[in-house]
């Protein structure tokens, strides 16, 4: 009986060791294909790129429309335990800003998520956002600084703005002016890919 248990344990360990490393995307509506056809968002495009490159990585999209950093903080432990990702793409904070939530709380929530990932030996790619100018210079500046400060503190790669380069093309956005249309998703992917690719090569 003991030998059988040891054998089963060894088989489980070997299977886990040989399992494809996972990339977990923890984001909001910008990563959850809000308002666009299914499988046309940047995360789906990333999945296809990984497949085309015969990458060892699998991809899990745990993004939810309307998600805040507080919600992500509440979910991260179970997601890490379930999927055991090697890399976490953290794209949260935009909804905090749009709701005018305290920036200190947003920073603390993101820090807690990053620390949870580190505790599970998962590397983090932090993706920043920007607020519309009508939120005031002080708020928008500190909002962006939150991401830079966290990236520096934890020494993790940072994409300062997910939608970099899209702002001058208003036709690439839905009627709300916030969410890119399907045609713009490849450009969003390229922004992410520039920061993610070096992480994939450094397994």
Along the chain (203 residues), what's the average pLDDT of each consecutive run of 10 residues? 50 50 98 98 98 95 98 98 98 96 97 98 98 91 97 98 92 95 98 97 56
pLDDT of residue 20: 81
Residue 99 burial (C-beta neighbours within 10 Å; 0-12, 13-18, 19+)? exposed
Query: Using CA atoms, how far apart are residues 133 and 140, in angstroms rounded to an integer?
Result: 7
Query: Using CA atoms, how far apart are residues 88 and 122, in angstroms rounded to an integer?
Result: 7
List 58, 63, 176, 202, catalytic entry: 176
List 63, 152, 179, 202, catalytic entry: 179
pLDDT of residue 3: 58
Confirm whether 28 is a catalytic residue: no
pLDDT of residue 16: 45
Confirm whether 83 is a catalytic residue: no
Among left, alpha and beta (phi > 0; psi -120 to 50; other), residue 155 is left
List 28, 29, 63, 96, catalytic entry: 29
20-201 CATH, one of 3.40.800.10, 1.10.150.120, 3.40.50.1110, 3.40.630.30:
3.40.50.1110
pLDDT of residue 168: 79
| Backbone Cα Rg of the chain | 18
């Amino acid at each position: 009986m003991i030998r059988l248990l040891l054998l089963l344990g060894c088989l489980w360990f070997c299977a886990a060791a040989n399992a494809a490393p996972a990339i977990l995307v923890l984001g909001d509506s910008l990563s959850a294909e809000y308002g666009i056809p299914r499988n046309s968002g940047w995360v789906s495009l990333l999945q296809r790129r990984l497949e085309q490159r015969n990458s060892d990585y699998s991809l899990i999209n745990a993004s939810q429309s309307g998600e805040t950093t507080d919600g992500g903080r509440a979910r991260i432990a179970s997601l890490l335990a379930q999927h055991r990702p090697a890399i976490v793409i953290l794209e949260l904070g935009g909804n905090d800003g749009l709701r005018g939530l305290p920036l200190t709380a947003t920073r603390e929530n993101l820090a807690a998520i990053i620390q949870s990932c580190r505790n599970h030996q998962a590397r983090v790619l932090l993706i920043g956002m920007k607020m519309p100018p009508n939120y005031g210079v002080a708020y928008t500046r500190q909002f962006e600084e939150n991401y830079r400060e966290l990236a520096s503190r934890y020494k993790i790669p940072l994409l300062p703005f997910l939608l970099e380069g899209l702002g001058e093309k208003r036709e690439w956005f839905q009627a709300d002016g916030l969410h890119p249309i399907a045609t713009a998703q490849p450009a969003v992917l390229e922004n992410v890919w520039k920061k993610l690719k070096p992480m994939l090569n450094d397994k």
